Amino acid sequence: MASPTAAPLPRRGIERLDLMLLCAEALDLNGAEATLWLSEELGLTEVVSDRVELWKQRCHNPLRRHVRRGSLTPSETDALIQVLCSQSERLYPLLRALLSAQEPLDISQQRWALFEERLRELIRERLNPRRSGVQTLLDPVGGAPQRRQLIRTMALAAGQGGFERLKASLMDASS
């Protein structure tokens, strides 16, 4: 876990972290339950104790319908990153299938269509549709590069060193 003096995630990092958690939920229909289960498995129940606490932490994303002021503590940030890395590890076969260039184009397009349909549903349900970032994500053409980048980042978060790679990526305000 981070020390109390660690720098908080920039706003863009919080947005991306929450969006990747939404992607995990889009890939796994039990994604919200898996998040809570993984936090328990990782011994993070002190930080992510229940569904309400998880919701409160994720509401620091300014793209959400209901936004909380302030920022996540370093321990909350690290816990969410650890959970996302574990989810990415567990979902890696699906992430790899989405990113694979080895499959026939029609199968790859079907996979992306299913993922994007579920992600759009979650975005409409949980994020503020008046925000330009949300409108871009919902745009079938304009949002495709961002959605692909979220999946690529999740794939890089899987495996050994994933926590450090993901945290560094989220701390980089330019990405």
Residue 3 pLDDT: 45
Residue 1 pLDDT: 46
Q: Mean of the pLDDT values across residues 6-10?
A: 80
% pLDDT > 90, the chain: 70
Residue 2's pLDDT band (cuts 50, 70, 90)? very low
Residue 35's pLDDT band (cuts 50, 70, 90)? confident
CB distance 59 to 68 below 8 Å: yes
CB distance 18 to 61 below 8 Å: yes
Say if residue 19 is exposed, middle or buried (CB neighbours under 10 Å; 0-12, 13-18, 19+): buried
Cα dist from 64 to 87, 104, 122, 123, 165, whole Å: 21, 36, 11, 9, 25
Mean pLDDT in the chain? 90
Residue 154's pLDDT band (cuts 50, 70, 90)? very high
The residue ranges of every structural domain in the chain are 11-163
Q: Which of 18, 20, 9 is nearest to 158 (CA)?
A: 20
